[in-house]
Amino acid sequence: MNLRKNNARLISETNQVSATNQIPEENEVNVFGAALSRRNFVKAGGALFVGFGVLAADGVKNVAHAATTRNSLDATLPESWIEIHPDNTILIRTGKSDFGQSTAFTAYRQIVAEELNTTFEAVTTVVMGDTDRTPDGSGAFDFLGSGMPNIRKAAAYTYQALLDLAAQRLGVAKSDLSVKDGVVSAAGKRMSYGDLVKGQQLKLTIPVKGDLTSIMGLTVDGNPPLKPVSQYTVIGKSFKNSVTATKVAAKEQWAVDVRLPGMLHARMVHPKTLGSTLISAGAVDKTKFPNAQVIVKGNLVGVVAPTEWEAIRAAQQVAGATTWKDWKGLPGNARLFDYLKQDADWKSTPVTKSDKSNGDVPPAMAAAAKKLTVSYQLPYMKHAPMGPTMALADARKDGTVYIYTHNQNPQALRGEIAQMLSTSPDNVVVRIFSGPGHYGRSNGGNAGAEDEAVILSQAVGKPVRVQWMRPEDFQWSTQSPAALSDVEIGLDNNGKMIAYQIDHYMPAMQDDRPIGAVLAGLPTMPAPSEKGDFVANTRNDPSDPWVYDGVATLLEQGHGTYQVGQKSSPLAVGLRDHSMRTPGQFQQNFPRELAVSEAAALAGIDAIQFRIDHAKEARVIGVLKAVRDASGWETRTSPHPAAKSSGSTPGSAPGSTAGATPTATPSATLVRGQGVSVMFRSETYWACVAQIAVNPATGAIAVEQVTVAVDPGIVVNPLQLKRQVEGGTMMGVSIALYEELMFDESGVTTRDWRTYPVLKMADIPEVKVVLLNHPETGKYGGGSEAANALAAPAIAAAFFDATGKNARRLPLKPEYIQTLLKA
C-alpha cells in the first residue's frame, strides 16, 4: 500500500463503451451545489474525480487564473481532491503539508472514510502539498479547520454524488439506498463504489472560494449534508500514522534526499550583520577548491560546487575573504524591554480591542477593594527545527522553476517565487517532501533556502541545492517575537474579579519576505507595516479568547509596532519575526493566565476554583475540573504553606513524585509548588497543571509533572492526539525554562544548541494527558500547537506557589531565579 505520492493511477483511457442507467453525458446533475457529470466511458479503469469550480465572489480574482494553469489543478484533470477507483481504493489530495502532526495520514483518512461511509483502509493514498498535484493550498496549520476542513466537505459532496450514481444504476430512489463499508445496497442489489465508477470517467465539480497562492489558500464552499456524528464508526479510533513506518525503516524520501542530475551543492555567505551591505565578495581559492564558484547578486553571496564538502569548505574560505559594512541598529537583548517600552513606535499602528471587551474600566477599577498591577515579558524565541532550512531548485531554460523542499505553505511559496522572478505562478512548481518540524516558520511560504536556491540555480543554469548550516539557521531565520503585557485586575471584597484590563505589546509577527530575494534586491511583498494586508501588518490583534465571562468589565487591547531593526537596517531586515506554534496567543495567554493566578492568590482563593468561579462556559469548567482530578491538585491558596525562597525546609510533594529532580539534589532541600493555566484555541478547550520542584540554593527548577486536559469536541484519533499533546507539552516546558534568543547591536549571537539550549530527556516531566470526548458538539477542534502554550504560565505560577516570589518573564533560567529569590 502506497500512502504517499502515487502517480501511477492517472487514468488516460477515453474509449467509449455502451452502458445503461448512467449519468447522461450531456447533462450535469446538481449535487447540493456541486455538479456531477460523465466525461467519457472507458474500456478499462474509470474513476470519479472530484475537482472544483470557482465561485464568483469577492476576492477570488487570482483563482480562476491559477486554477486553470498547467501547474494547478483543473476539474477536468484527475489531479483533484478525491479519486474513487474501480478497485475500491480511494486517493485523497490536500494542499496542506503534514509536518508530523499526523493529521493528513490519520485524521484526514478517517474523516474521508467516515463521510464516504467506507473503511479507513480504503483510503490508500494521500497526496500532499505539491503545488501541481494538490487542489487547495494553505499552510500547515489549523488542519482540522475548526471542525470543517476542506477534505471533509469534499468527501461529503463526493458521497452525495456516489448516492446519485447508485440511485441511477440500481434504479431506486436515493432515499432507499443504504451504505456500509463502501458498498451501496437497495432492493436486494449491491454495488461497491468501485463498481459504480467502473468503465466511466466521472467528474464532480465542487464550489470553492479564496486565493490559491495566498496564505489561507482555497476553501470549499456550500453546505453538503454531513454524516451524523452519532453514526461515526471510523472517527474516534487510534489508527496509526502510515508515514511513521517508512520514516522508521529509512524508506521515506525526505527533502534532503532529493537529487537531480548535474545538481550543484551550495552554501551561503550571509552578511556580517542584519544590516550589512556588501563591500566586496571574496574569490574562491582555486588551488584548494578548483570546482567551486562564487555567485553574487546584490547582497546575496553563495558558493556552489559539485560536492557538498567542497561547497562547505569553499564557502568558509570565501566568507573569510568577503567584506561587509558594519551596522549597529539593534538594542541588544539586555536592553530589549527598555527599548520596547521607551523607544519603539507604538503610535503608528492602530490599537486593537477584543470582541469581548465590555464596560468602562476606570470607574470599575476605582471601585475595587484590591488591585493587582503587573507587567510580564517574553523573550524572542526560535522555531529551531532539528534540521536547518534547505531546498533544491531547478530554474530551467524554458523559464519554469521547480523547487523540491519541505515547506508549510507550498502555494504561498509558489506565489513568492513568481513575484521574485517577475513571472507567472504558472511557471513555478513546488514539490513537497518530509522534513523537520517547522512549528510555523514556513507557514507563510518560506524558511530561507528556497528563494536562494532559485537565484543560484538561475545564475549557474543548473539545479542547485542550498543547505543552511546550523549557525545561520539560528542567525538568519525568523524568530517568534518578544512581547510585553501590562495587566490591571480589580477584585471586590469577595475576591471576585470585577474589572480586568490587559494591554499587549508585540512587534509585527509575520514577515513572509523571502530573505534571499531581499538580499538580492529582487521583488518581494512589503515588510510588515501599518498599511500592510492582513498578514504583513504591524497590527497586534487580541488573539487569546477570553474565557472568564463572569468578569463584568473587561478591556483587552493589542499594540503593534515594526520589527526591531527593520526600519534602520540598510537591508530592511533587522530581527525578522514569524509565527510560531500558538502564535500571538501564546504571547497573550502567558500574561493573562499568570495574572489570573496572581489575582487568585491576592483573593486568597484556590487558583482552579477561582477560574471556575469566573467562567460560565461548561466546557471551560469541564477541562478545569478534569485537570484538577487527574493531576493530584491540592485545593488551597497559594503560595504553598511551606513556600520558601531560601534555606532548606522541605515542602510537601504535590501529586506524583516521579519524574525529574534537579540533578543530585537531596529532596529535603527542595520546595515544591503547583500552577494552572487555561486556553481556548481553534475550537478546543485546554487546561494544564504543572507541579515543580525548586532548589532555592541554585535556582534550578525541575518540572516534575504536567497534566493537560483537552476537550476538542470530537476526538478524532486518541493515540495521535495524545502524542501531539505530549510533544507540545515538552516544547512548552522547554520554552518556560530555557529558550531565549540572544543578540547584540548587530545581529543574533545565538548560534547553536549550546547557545540555544532546549529540553533534554533527563529533564522531562511526567506528562498526563486527559482527553475529553464530546461528540455532541458535532465538531473537532485543533489538537496540536496549543499544547505548547500551556506549560509556561502554569510553571511560572507553580514557582510562586513554591517560593512566594513572582517570576514575570521567561525563561526561568537559574540566574534569573536566583535574582528573584534574593530580592
Partner 1 sequence: MVTITVNGVRREVQAPTDTPLLYVLRNDLELSGPQFGCGLAQCGACSVLLGGKEIRSCVTPLSAATSAEITTLEGLPARWAKQKGLAAADAEKTLHPVQQAWIEEQTPLCGFCQNGMMIKATELLESNATPTVAQIKAAFTTSGPSAHLCRCGSYTAIIEAVQRASTVMAKGGKA
Comparison of 98 and 488: residue with beta carbon closer to partner 1 = 98
User: Alpha carbon of 662 to those of 285, 632, 762, 789, 805: distances in Å?
Assistant: 51, 21, 10, 23, 19
Q: Is 719 in the site for partner 1 (CB under 8 A)?
A: yes
Q: Is 639 in the site for partner 1 (CB under 8 A)?
A: no
Comparison of 173 and 249: residue with beta carbon closer to partner 1 = 249
Q: Tell me how far apart the alpha carbons of residues 477 and 442 are, in angstroms, rounded to a whole number.
A: 10
Q: Which stretch binds partner 1 (CB under 8 A): 2-10, 479-487, 583-591, 724-732?
A: 724-732
Q: Is 144 in the site for partner 1 (CB under 8 A)?
A: no
Which helix or strand (DSSP H or E) is residue 348 part of? none
Residue from 194, 388, 490, 591 binding partner 1 (CB under 8 A): 388
Q: Is 664 in the site for partner 1 (CB under 8 A)?
A: no
Residue from 175, 762, 815, 823 binding partner 1 (CB under 8 A): 762
Question: 3-state class of 589 per DSSP?
Answer: helix
Comparison of 191 and 243: residue with beta carbon closer to partner 1 = 243
**Minimum separation from the CB atom of position 636 to partner 1 (A):** 29
Please check whether residue 352 is in contact with residue 539, taking contact to mean a CB–CB distance below 8 angstroms.
yes
Q: Is 245 in the site for partner 1 (CB under 8 A)?
A: yes
Question: 3-state class of 605 per DSSP?
Answer: coil
Q: Which stretch binds partner 1 (CB under 8 A): 43-51, 290-298, 684-692, 723-731?
A: 723-731
Nearest to 750 by CA among 440, 438, 384, 444: 384
Over the window 442 to 481, marking each residue x when it contacts partner 1 by CB under 8 A and - when it does not, the resulting string is -------------------------x-xx-----------
Residue from 28, 308, 426, 634 binding partner 1 (CB under 8 A): 308
Grid cell, residue 485, equals 503585557
**Minimum separation from the CB atom of position 433 to partner 1 (A):** 11
Q: Is 309 in the site for partner 1 (CB under 8 A)?
A: yes
Grid cell, residue 79, equals 489531479
Q: Is 397 in the site for partner 1 (CB under 8 A)?
A: no
Q: Which stretch binds partner 1 (CB under 8 A): 207-215, 247-255, 445-453, 803-811?
A: 247-255
**Minimum separation from the CB atom of position 754 to partner 1 (A):** 6
Residue from 49, 52, 99, 193 binding partner 1 (CB under 8 A): 99
Residue from 357, 458, 734, 750 binding partner 1 (CB under 8 A): 734
Q: Tell me how far apart the alpha carbons of residues 65 and 8 are, in angstroms, rounded to a whole number.
A: 28
Residue from 727, 775, 804, 814 binding partner 1 (CB under 8 A): 727
**Minimum separation from the CB atom of position 666 to partner 1 (A):** 17
Q: Is 435 in the site for partner 1 (CB under 8 A)?
A: yes
Q: Which stretch binds partner 1 (CB under 8 A): 252-260, 331-339, 340-348, 775-783?
A: 252-260
CA 591 to chain centre: 22
Q: Tell me how far apart the alpha carbons of residues 397 and 85 are, in angstroms, rounded to a whole number.
A: 38
Q: Which stretch binds partner 1 (CB under 8 A): 18-26, 201-209, 432-440, 504-512?
A: 432-440
Comparison of 550 and 718: residue with beta carbon closer to partner 1 = 718
Question: 3-state class of 50 per DSSP?
Answer: strand
Q: Which residues have C-beta within 8 Å of that of residue 489, sequence separation ≥ 6? A: 371, 372, 497, 499, 500, 501, 595, 596, 598, 599
DSSP string, 355-406: TT-BS-HHHHHHT-SEEEEEEEEE--B----SS--EEEEEE-TTS-EEEEE-
Residue from 753, 778, 819, 822 binding partner 1 (CB under 8 A): 753
Binding to partner 1, residues 771-810 (CB under 8 A): none
Q: Which stretch binds partner 1 (CB under 8 A): 180-188, 224-232, 598-606, 715-723?
A: 715-723
Nearest to 393 by CA among 262, 253, 217: 262
Comparison of 111 and 263: residue with beta carbon closer to partner 1 = 263
**Minimum separation from the CB atom of position 668 to partner 1 (A):** 20
Which helix or strand (DSSP H or E) is residue 602 part of? helix 585-603
Q: How many CA atoms lie within 13 A of 747 on its CB side?
A: 20
Q: Is 101 in the site for partner 1 (CB under 8 A)?
A: yes
**Minimum separation from the CB atom of position 756 to partner 1 (A):** 10
Grid cell, residue 282, equals 571574496
Residue from 82, 191, 256, 515 binding partner 1 (CB under 8 A): 256
Q: Tell me how far apart the alpha carbons of residues 387 and 257 are, in angstroms, rounded to a whole number.
A: 13
Comparison of 517 and 735: residue with beta carbon closer to partner 1 = 735
What angle, rounded to 10 degrees, do the helices at 718-737 and 786-803 form? 50
Over the window 214 to 243, marking each residue x when it contacts partner 1 by CB under 8 A and - when it does not, the resulting string is --------------------------xx-x
Task: List the beta bridge partners of residue 8.
Answer: none
Residue from 767, 810, 817, 820 binding partner 1 (CB under 8 A): 767
Question: 3-state class of 125 per DSSP?
Answer: strand
8-state DSSP, 690: E
Which helix or strand (DSSP H or E) is residue 191 part of? strand 189-192
Comparison of 350 and 471: residue with beta carbon closer to partner 1 = 471
Comparison of 596 and 735: residue with beta carbon closer to partner 1 = 735
Nearest to 136 by CA among 188, 178, 79: 79
Q: Is 287 in the site for partner 1 (CB under 8 A)?
A: no
Residue from 6, 62, 244, 423 binding partner 1 (CB under 8 A): 244
Comparison of 357 and 389: residue with beta carbon closer to partner 1 = 389
Q: Is 434 in the site for partner 1 (CB under 8 A)?
A: yes
Comparison of 1 and 762: residue with beta carbon closer to partner 1 = 762
Q: Is 108 in the site for partner 1 (CB under 8 A)?
A: no
Sign of the Cα torsion 456, 458, 460, 464 reads positive
Q: What order do you get walking across the sheet with 553-561 strand by strand?
A: 352-353, 553-561, 497-507, 483-491, 370-378
CA 639 to chain centre: 36
**Minimum separation from the CB atom of position 590 to partner 1 (A):** 18
CA-CA-CA-CA dihedral for 645, 646, 648, 653, to nearest 10: 10
The three-point CA angle 585-591-593 to 5° equals: 85
Q: Tell me how far apart the alpha carbons of residues 552 and 549 are, in angstroms, rounded to a whole number.
A: 7
> Which residue has cell 456500509?
180
Comparison of 524 and 784: residue with beta carbon closer to partner 1 = 784
How many chain residues touch partner 1 (CB under 8 A)? 56
Residue from 752, 778, 819, 822 binding partner 1 (CB under 8 A): 752
Q: Is 64 in the site for partner 1 (CB under 8 A)?
A: no
Q: Tell me how far apart the alpha carbons of residues 487 and 483 are, in angstroms, rounded to a whole number.
A: 13
Q: Tell me how far apart the alpha carbons of residues 284 and 625 are, in angstroms, rounded to a whole number.
A: 66
676, burial (CB in 10 Å: exposed 0-12, middle 13-18, buried 19+):
buried
For binding to partner 1 (CB under 8 A), which residues are involved?
99-102, 240-241, 243-245, 247-250, 252-254, 256-257, 307-309, 384-388, 434-437, 439, 467, 469-470, 719-720, 723-724, 726-731, 734, 752-754, 758-764, 767
